[in-house]
Amino acid sequence: MAILGIDIGGSGIKGATVDVNTGELVSDRIRIPTPRPSKPKHVGSVVAEIVKRLNYQGIIGAGFPAVIKKGISYSAANVHKDWKGFNVEGLIHKATGCNAYVLNDADAAGLAEMRFGIGKEQSKGTVLFLTIGTGIGSAFFVNGQLMPNSELGHLKIRGKDAEHRASDAVRQIKDLSWKEWSKKFAEVLKTYEALFNPDLIILGGGISKKFDKYSKFIDIKTKIVPARLENLAGIIGAAMAAVENLE
């Protein structure tokens, strides 16, 4: 069964159809830069464009970078403030005519990584999946079960949001070396470790590919591994979630 998964991010909106039984992409992956400003109607047009280009009809799953409950966005950290309180599922339905299921972007990516990526080897215990990109996204799993909307990127560390200390955007904006950034990121990880004592931490997002460059500088007790599905996880997990929730 091929289902359209969409990953709405701070810099790009990506979509592809996914075989939800194998976790493989069935179509090309389309990426369109996130419009500026990233207001709902502009993002809705981009989603409609992806649907059109893929000539898709059917249910849609979408990951969105905010707290999402029953299709509504309850925060707007790295997107336009108009998203707060906005019905994201309703917008996608209006823009495309397709029924949509929307969940937090990191939760979507985590679901895919736990089923088809490195997490499938860790179905017991507590797993903390993190996406490090424009912000820091988190997905928390206990015995394979997702606890949604954990939002650990906004945990205050010495008075500042974790994602304002050590996201990949911070590394790029401040032009930090991997060693300098790792020091900041290790402080974030140590805080998570002290509070949640996970059995495994999986690092996703763009930096999962660069794991060799920084892992040697991060000394924490918990095992950390890079995600395997890299930047496809968000698309795959969104498609999986649509099937599980809409069919």
Name the site residues for ligand BGC (rule: CB under 6 A): 65-66, 75, 77-78, 104-106, 131, 135, 137, 151, 153-154, 163
User: Residue 151 CB, nearest distance to ligand BGC (Å)?
Assistant: 6
The dihedral formed by the CA atoms of 35, 41, 45 and 47, expressed in degrees to the nearest 10: 80
User: Residue 183 CB, nearest distance to ligand BGC (Å)?
Assistant: 22
Partners of 4 in beta bridges: 17, 60
User: Residue 153 CB, nearest distance to ligand BGC (Å)?
Assistant: 5
Specify the residue, 164 or 210, whose C-beta has the smaller distance to ligand BGC: 164
Q: At what angle do helices 105-116 and 233-246 cross, to 10 degrees?
A: 90
Q: And the tokens for 69?
A: 């409950």
Q: And the tokens for 4?
A: 């359209």
Q: Is 203 helix (H, G, I), strand (E, B) or coil?
A: strand
Nearest one of 220, 181, 224, 230 to 202, comparing CA atoms:
224
Specify the residue, 117 or 234, whose C-beta has the smaller distance to ligand BGC: 234
Specify the residue, 96 or 131, whose C-beta has the smaller distance to ligand BGC: 131
Specify the residue, 113 or 151, whose C-beta has the smaller distance to ligand BGC: 151
User: Residue 106 CB, nearest distance to ligand BGC (Å)?
Assistant: 4
Between CA 189 and CA 182 the distance in angstroms is 10
